[in-house]
Every structure is written in structure tokens, then in C-alpha cells.
Amino acid sequence: MWRNEAWATIFGFENEAEYLGQSTRMLYPSEEEYERIREILYAPLRAGQTTETDLKFKRRDGTVFDAHMRMNLLDPSHPSRGTISAIIDITDRKKAEEAIRQSRELLKVVTDTIPAAMFYANSKQRFLFSNKTHKKWWAAPDNEDLAGRTLQEVFGEFYVDIQGHVDAVLSGQEVAYDRTIHYRDGAIRDVAVVYTPHFGPDGEVKGFVGLATDISERKRAEEALRGSEEKYRLLVEQAREGILVAQDGVIKFLNPRSAEVMGYSEDELRSKSFGEFIHPDDRDMVLQLHFRRLRGEELPNRYPVKILTRDGDLRWVEIDAALIQWAGKPAVQILITDITERK
């Protein structure tokens, strides 16, 4: 047996007496590994071929390491003369490969868990990655990969709608849009879509990441809110009582009836402190009640007040005040009823 110094270093032998005359079985961690490698390597050797494989060896101290071995016959015409082998310690490579495998596994877990469809497409508009949600929405079973297929193949008629966005992201722009999409799994979803370009070291666009978030529930909630706001607006605008909101002495909101009762235009009422429209006899009392109510004091809600119209006419109104929140701050909602005829 001949070996070089690197071989002795890899296996940890200090002198020839430790291995000369010994079976090569001593270099393997188990009899099973020895037999497995014999099966892999010796059949091609008998046919005169060079053979190689990754395997596990055992050092002198019993530690097991990963290696790559390449083997040839010393003399192909006389196989019994022995073999020559080149062995490389690939422990670091195997560790790196395992780290990459774990990283990819973790990435898959994360991307398959997020409640959104995610994919990566290269500059040729071919899918290289799709998460579980993206494959589900586009009717690809879990065991079917979309990798290699073009955006147009997968998206079908929908591709025409987004072609401009795809061209934009591949030119280096980030793209965001909302769209209602009829997906191949049969569902109709409102989605918020973001395309983010992926730049290579040379600054060229190599591809892009697509992220589609289902916003159907949010859209329905917004539509319901708009409907409620419209109904409330109609109720307020058509109310027979004046309705206004005052905050820190300033009118923040009023309905048309408020302007009618107080004898000013809506713009005029919004441009001044509401205390200016109160008759001097009642002004201090009304302002004190207003600011005390803003501080949270318990006060009577209803009381009569004299006001002055723009023409200087005196009117009696009944105020019904309640503390509310307006734009995140305390305010007073006031219902105004004209009681002049009663007076």
C-alpha cells in the first residue's frame, strides 16, 4: 500500500504500522457502509471504468467524516494488481450543503405559511418559484411545480391585463396595483399586488418577486362602510334639526339645517368661533359649558339659548349637547331646535 502525506493527515495516522497489512474495512464507519461502497465502485471498475462517489470514512480516532473518492485500476489489463484512489475531505462542503438545505426548507415553510400568493419569475418571464398559496390559486396541485412555465401559460387571459405591469417591473420599477381576478381554483378575489425587481451585481434586472394579498374582506368592509356613511349622510342632511360638531370652540361639522336655523351660510359658520353666533347674554354660559363638557364633566344636556342671525335677528334655540370623539379628540355634538315661536 502506498499513500501520500495528505492521506495520512486526513485519516490521522502517525506511522505506517498502524495501517499496513490491514483491510481497508478499517477505514469505514460500518460494515454496511463498506459493502455499500464496494457495490457502487467495484462493478464499474471491473468494466475498466473510472468510478467515484461521496461516502463516509472513519479516522484513526473514530470520528466519521464526509469524503469524495475517485478510483481507477492501476492496470486495466490486470485488475488484480490493485487500484489507485484520490480522496478529498468534503466535510465543509457537506456542512454548507446542509445549511443551504435547511435554509431552503425554512424559506419554504415561511413562504407557504404567509397568507398571500408569492412567486419569483426571471427576466424571460418564466416562473422559478411559487409558494403553496400561489399554486393553489392557479390550480396547481402541491406536487406540481410551476417552475419553467411562462407567466402567459399560467395566467392565461389575465396576462393581457398585467403585461404592462410586468414590462414595468422588468425595466426596474416597483409596481403596485389592485385587481379583481377570476382564479383557476374557481374563486373571485380582490387582490393587492406588488412586483419588486431583482437586480444582479451588474445592475441588470434578473427577475422579480410577485406578492398578491387577498383584500376581498377589506373591500367588502369598505363597501359596507361607504354604504353606512351614505345612509348616515342622507339622514343628517335631511334631518329637521340642526346638527353640528364643535371642538375647542370651533365648528368642525354641520348639516344644512344648522345653517338655516342660525341664519348663516355653512362656510360662514365654519370660519368663526361658534361663540360669535351666541347672543351676548348667553355667550359666557354656553362657552363655559362647552369647555367643561370637553373636560368630561357631567352637565345638563339640554338648555335654551339665544342666538343672533347674520341680519341681527334674535332667535331662541334649544341645544341638546353630548360628548363624542372627533378625529381622535373630544368634541361636542349639538342638536339645535328652533323654539322661537314657543318663546
pTM score, two decimals? 0.53
Q: Contact, 104 vs 129, CB < 8 A? A: no
Enumerate residues 6+ apart whose C-beta is below 8 A from 129. Answer: 118, 119, 120, 147
Name the least confident of 41-50, 272-281, 291-300, 333-342: 41-50
What confidence tier does 202 reach under pLDDT thresholds 50, 70, 90? Answer: very high
pLDDT digits (tens, 9 = 90+) for 259-317: 888 888 888 888 878 888 899 999 999 999 999 999 999 998 999 999 998 888 899 99
pLDDT of residue 1: 61
What confidence tier does 141 reach under pLDDT thresholds 50, 70, 90? Answer: low
Q: Residue 223: is its pLDDT beyond 60? A: yes
Which residue segments constitute the domains of the chain, with CATH numbers given? Answer: 5-95 (3.30.450.20), 114-218 (3.30.450.20), 239-338 (3.30.450.20)
SS3 assignment, position 56: strand
Interatomic CA distance for residues 112 and 160, integer angstroms = 27
| Ordered alpha helix ranges (H), the chain | 5-11, 31-46, 91-113, 132-137, 151-155, 158-170, 216-237, 256-262, 266-271, 280-294
Q: Which of 241, 268, 276 is nearest to 255 (CA)?
A: 241
Interatomic CA distance for residues 79 and 48, integer angstroms = 8
Q: Residue 168: is its pLDDT beyond 70? A: yes
Encode 30-43: b = buried (16+ Cβ within 10 Å), e = exposed. Answer: eeebbeebeebbee
Name the least confident of 179-183, 234-238, 287-291: 234-238
Name the least confident of 55-64, 185-194, 232-241, 287-296: 232-241
- β-sheet with 205-214: strand ranges across: 127-130, 117-122, 205-214, 188-199, 175-182
SS3 assignment, position 321: strand
Enumerate residues 6+ apart whose C-beta is below 8 A from 118. Answer: 111, 129, 130, 131, 133, 134, 209, 210, 211, 212
Q: Determine the distance from the C-alpha atom of residue 43 to the mean position of all C-alpha atoms in its chain, rounded to a whole number.
A: 53
